[in-house]
Chains A and B, each alone.
Chain A
């Protein structure tokens, strides 16, 4: 009892630096974003109370609707390609392979993840350049048509999805590989003795054991993809014609380029809502397929 009482002071003392910073830089701004969204403000003149004006404008603003759709398209394709291809990669690498090969493959796929988005975006702008780009050249060699990928309203977003895959797959892949390594070999052995073929062992042993890992990777990929911004700003500036404008890209334009701070805050709340709903939905759906 006395020991517990003595813990109070050090307890509060020890959490206070983190908690104080949290209150100032996370909690208060969160409340601030809600507050700001109710005002018209250009950072210079006096803020003007707007009620739900910003939100009304959100619904009718075509650019917002487009940005939300773009973000969803990007996030869904991210998750499908990251988890699907990441799983194939992890399964491939997990198989017995010579040590050298395994080391090379793991390193090669992981490397791009360590390169900052700024560098990735700049490198890929050149890789995709229609006149002297690496990709342009080899795609042409393969007999594919040459397009200015980033300037095409149809191809710009899919191109960014591919670049994002290149940058981030190493992360998903390592997580899934780690999950794969937790699958007990005895389970596989037992299934083999029971006459299960490779496919059946994958469905009945590997997948169920790995489901928490896959679930985690899915949630993280979704949350990350919803916040995508760097490649949009550096590679396409949201264009052409809004084709790659994500919610964050639009928030940035409104908040820091045209200084409609209240509208930007309202937009950021849309992002927050999207993430909360998607995450909540995933947790709910997870009960059906994730084994605890």
Chain B
């Protein structure tokens, strides 16, 4: 039978394709670790000799890297925690409580899923300018605290938790806050984790919104800082830029390798896009 041979050939093609996929990332890291004199040589040297951290040490000379990393982290943490909270509250109400207009309000929110942020950016910019919030981190995280997808996703998740559990708690005289935080959310933990990872990643990588709202270097997030570095450097040392990009990319890749299962499961089950 030729089947096993054909199968192995296909494996080979897929593995080669995989290597091709990660080649630019490997090149990035290898170049960042190279002596400036060895970097960008053709044919590329895939093993730096000897590896050096010199380029990484120069990153702070070009951009306030630590400051930008702190900004990114701060925004990502506030966005994640805040949007999970508002989503959980709303999701509980939409799935468990009955009040007039509930389904209509939910439908309106759902329809907003196709509204691109680019449509709202000009009016929101005008609003933020009026509130004197342009060039502050508030302009980045405040609008992100409403996450329609999060509401939708958690509502589906809560719907899969048996109602008997909260009905028993109601019998015992528990309030809705207590039920949500003590009964429902602990059971919805895998869903919350998946959503948190995704919101965090999306915020950490977000470019469009911070690019428009932030202008002072000390307030910028990492993606915006990187791009500004490209402009500021002109003919400057590209290896240092590579070192900076590596510092931005690596944490997310490591995080992924640790949480791979949740990551993949969250995308597979939700179709959430960062």
Contact = CB atoms under 8 A, between A and B. Distances in A.
A binds B: yes
A265 B22 contact: no
Interface residues of B, number: 93
Contact of B208 (A98, A105, A110, A229): A229
A29 B223 CA distance: 26
B112 to A, nearest CB: 5
Nearest to B212: A256
B14 A29 contact: no
B143 A25 contact: yes
B123 A36 contact: yes
Given A25-B142, A269-B119, A122 B268 contact: no
Contacts of B5: none
B40 to A, nearest CB: 4
Interface stretch (A56-64, A184-192, A271-279): A271-279
Interface string A87-121: 00100110111100100111111111111111101
Nearest to B118: A248
A114 B264 contact: no
A272 B201 CA distance: 26
A19 B123 contact: no
B223 A18 contact: no
Contact of B122 (A18, A28, A175, A268): A268
Contact of B123 (A28, A110, A224): A28
A248 B23 CA distance: 30
Contacts of B90: 14-15, 17-19
B105 A15 contact: yes
Interface string B153-192: 0000000000000000000000110001000000000000
Interface string A148-186: 000000000000000000100001001101100000000
A18 B87 contact: yes
B21 A109 contact: yes
A22 B267 contact: no
Contacts of A86: none
B89 A18 contact: yes
A57 B29 CA distance: 48
Interface string B122-133: 111111010000
A265 B119 CA distance: 7
A38 interface: no
Given A101-B11, A116-B204, A119-B245, A137 B43 contact: yes
Interface string A213-256: 00011001001101101100110000000000000100110011
A202 interface: no
Interface residues of A, number: 92
A226 B115 CA distance: 12
Given A11-B99, A119-B226, A216-B271, A114 B146 contact: no
Contact of B19 (A24, A108, A261): A108
Contacts of A224: 273
Contacts of B222: 116, 118
A46 interface: no
Contacts of A89: 14, 17
B248 interface: yes
B28 interface: yes
A69 interface: no
Contacts of B253: 111, 114-115
A51 interface: no
Contacts of B142: 21, 25
A134 B23 contact: yes
B176 A14 contact: yes
B195 interface: no
Contacts of B28: 123
B146 A104 contact: no
Nearest to B228: A118
Given A10-B97, A12-B99, A21 B245 contact: no
Given A18-B90, A229-B118, A32 B123 contact: yes
Given A21-B86, A123-B25, A268-B119, 11 more contacts: A7-B98, A14-B176, A15-B89, A17-B90, A21-B143, A26-B120, A32-B120, A43-B126, A92-B13, A114-B252, A116-B252
Interface of B: 7, 10-11, 13-15, 17-19, 21-25, 27-28, 40-44, 85-87, 89-90, 92-94, 97-100, 102, 105, 109, 112, 114-127, 129, 142-143, 145-146, 148, 151, 175-176, 180, 201, 204-208, 211-212, 222-224, 226-227, 230, 238, 241-242, 245, 248-249, 252-253, 256-257, 260, 264, 267-269, 271, 273-274
